[in-house]
A and B are shown apart, each in its own frame.
Chain A
Amino acid sequence: MIDVVMPQMGESIVEGTLAKWLKKPGDHVERDEPLFEISTDKVDTEIPSPAAGTLAEIVIEEGKTVGINTVVGRINEGDGAGAAGSAAAPAPAPPQPSPQADGAEPSRPEPAAAAPQAPPPAPPAPAATVVEETAGPLSPLVRKMAREHNVDLSRVKGTGAGGRITKQDLEAYLASRPGPAAGAPPSAAMTTVPPGPTPPREVAPQAREVQPPPIRGEAPATRVEPMSIMRQKIAEHMAFSKRTSAHVTTVHKVDMTRVAKLRERIKGQIQAQYGFGLTFLPFVIRAASAALRQYPVVNASIDGTNIIYHRDINIGIAVALENGLIVPVIRNADEKNVIGLQRSIVDLASRARSRQLRPDEVQAGTFSVTNFGSFGSVFATPVINQPQVAIMGVGAVEKEPVVVEDAIAIRSVGYLALTFDHRLIDGALADQFTGKVKSVLENWSEEVL
């Protein structure tokens, strides 16, 4: 086994950040072939492998900052010698204890020093086993917290600059640690435990040595979980949009009776003929396309002080995923009839849910439609999908008593919400646009079949 160490990239340099492993454990590497990259002060450096063989082990994970000459990985030279290489291959886990191992901590006997017969109410923390070597520089606050909670910092994942452990990291670790002192020192915990599950008072001190009292059956007050990449993207995109556009929402009430009756009449036939159901959404998209054609500024984007008008009408449809959201795009939506639109919606939505969209299918949208009505919402105020300037939300279509020529009639009614970017679109225009969509829907005249 050959140790691979963090090299010194200059006289004054005492540490480096492992930016990226270029090989995975089990991968073969040639001598002098780039093995990993480190970064120091705006410089990324490729580090060649010191030997040929198999990368047996990654000791230092990406993102961690360690001192020079720290072992970052190990190479098994026995690569060429038959089976040795493949035997060494599956060694993906670093030797550090995993969080699961942490979970077993409560049952682990405490060091002897912590087991006097009559423990004082607040036992002093055992000599801190704080390992700072791999943790990078620490703030005094983090040091103090780690001491107070007796945390082995080598087990805490740092998310700060260069893998540095921040207060948040430590708090997250403490919250996720089901072991003793999961947030409060033992003495405090003792006094706050409800009497139920605790053994009688006299035996408590003894029991505490083996099994800390407050834990069992009591979930921690918070749980920390990293966001998925998709969630991070959504968060970033939504906040970016709110920062960028002057969001205003206008809501129009639309009498969908004509469309509802048409839909009722033909949906069975469409199901039989095409194999999919018929919703209100393709009608709304068809109407929106006509309105976008009439009011091109709604089909535009802003670039600095320029307005970019798009020739094509590409309408994004928001698709709810199990744990997220994606907006695939129906290209040239204005060239499709209701059946073509419905087919596109069904196809894009099902492939979005099975994660089989191509990247170009979520790009180049010029306007978006979101159908929150399918979840029962009557109206909502959607967030603009940047760099577009408007999004239309379709509420649930429900039968309601409506006054028609001084008589009460039962009509199918739904609300259309248009969120528009008031930087570019004035209220009057937004209402003309939505009015056009409403008018197309209320006076639906196009044959579908």
Chain B
Amino acid sequence: MRAEGSIVSEGAVCQLRDLGRIGFTEAYVLQQDFVARRKRGEIPDQFLIVEHPHVVTMGRNGRPENLLAPPELLARAGIAFHHTDRGGDVTYHGPGQIVGYPIFDLREWKRDVVAYVRGLEQVVIDALAGFGIEGARLKGATGVWTREGKIAAIGVHISRWVTSHGFALNVDTELDYFRYIVPCGLKQPVTSMRTLGCMVARDQVIRALIQSFARVFERKMETL
């Protein structure tokens, strides 16, 4: 009945875990654990939603010059600093941001890392559309962009087709914190939903993200 290319188990379960405010390292350890269990097939796909305290993270391809303040100064400003194994350059996470970490076995969706990243962008674009914000892709600069600048960042790690890390959407993030870095090594400004005039509750945005996530990746979301 269905086209052969999309055997992708429509309705395959994805477990949703809204973990609230959680440290970057704790979330990382948790992700590692889910990744290991996902690889062993013990659990279905996972979609973790978190909010981090102030933290600057540097991806594998990160260039030190994009960190504008030494870690020591960050520490004094109450910002943690971590190197991490996702793709991409340097970024900031903090209160007011929705961070999504899908632990996804791409073999059960598409064995295509670029398609996956485009999918994550679509999830955010669709969710934003529900609030009247026009998000778009910018060629050569993965993430979601608006006329006022970048609103969501993406960085992913894949091990045996299982994903970790994911995206970060600025809802009402204090954008001043981005001045410690050159986000993703790009000179363009960073923006948030609130800066664009959208005063919306975090929970509503999370709900919209979950809906678009289920649609884009064709998953049946199961809240835990």
| Chain A interface (Cβ < 8 Å from any Cβ of B) | 9-13, 19-20, 32, 34, 37, 39-46, 48, 236-237, 240, 301, 303-304, 308, 363-364, 386-387
Docked-complex contact B142 and A42, CB < 8 angstroms: yes
Enumerate chain A residues within 8 angstroms of B116, measured Cβ to Cβ: 10, 43
A301's contact among B73, B110, B114, by CB below 8 Å, is which?
B73
Nearest opposing residue in chain B for A305, CB measure: B176
- A37 to B59 Cα, complex, angstroms: 13
Instruction: Say which size band chain B's interface belongs to.
Output: 20 to 34
Q: Which of A10, A43, A236, A363 has the most CB of B within 10 A?
A: A43
A209 to chain B, nearest CB (A): 46
Scan residues 35-69 of chain B and give those whose CB is less than 8 A from a CB of chain A. 59-61, 64-65, 68-69
Docked-complex contact A11 and B159, CB < 8 angstroms: no
A390 to chain B, nearest CB (A): 16
A383 to chain B, nearest CB (A): 15
- A442 to B60 Cα, complex, angstroms: 54
Docked-complex contact B87 and A387, CB < 8 angstroms: no
Q: Known interface pairs A240-B68, A386-B73, A387-B73. Does A39 touch B115 (Cβ–Cβ under 8 Å)?
A: no
Enumerate chain A residues within 8 angstroms of B65, measured Cβ to Cβ: 236
Enumerate chain A residues within 8 angstroms of B29, measured Cβ to Cβ: none
A13's contact among B59, B113, B157, by CB below 8 Å, is which?
B113
Docked-complex contact B76 and A387, CB < 8 angstroms: yes
Docked-complex contact A10 and B112, CB < 8 angstroms: yes
Enumerate chain A residues within 8 angstroms of B157, measured Cβ to Cβ: 43-46
Docked-complex contact B69 and A387, CB < 8 angstroms: yes
- A131 to B65 Cα, complex, angstroms: 32
What are the 3 A-B residue pairs with the smallest beta carbon separation, nearest first? A10-B112, A44-B87, A45-B158
Enumerate chain B residues within 8 angstroms of A301, measured Cβ to Cβ: 73, 76
- A37 to B73 Cα, complex, angstroms: 31
Enumerate chain A residues within 8 angstroms of B218, measured Cβ to Cβ: none
A19's contact among B60, B77, B154, by CB below 8 Å, is which?
B60
Nearest opposing residue in chain B for A13, CB measure: B114
Other contacts beyond A46-B160, A303-B73: 18, CB < 8 A:
A10-B113, A11-B112, A11-B115, A12-B114, A12-B115, A20-B60, A34-B159, A40-B113, A41-B87, A41-B142, A44-B86, A45-B157, A45-B158, A46-B158, A363-B72, A364-B72, A387-B70, A387-B73
Docked-complex contact A10 and B115, CB < 8 angstroms: yes
- A258 to B77 Cα, complex, angstroms: 43
> Is B135 an interface residue, CB under 8 A from the partner?
no
- A386 to B74 Cα, complex, angstroms: 12
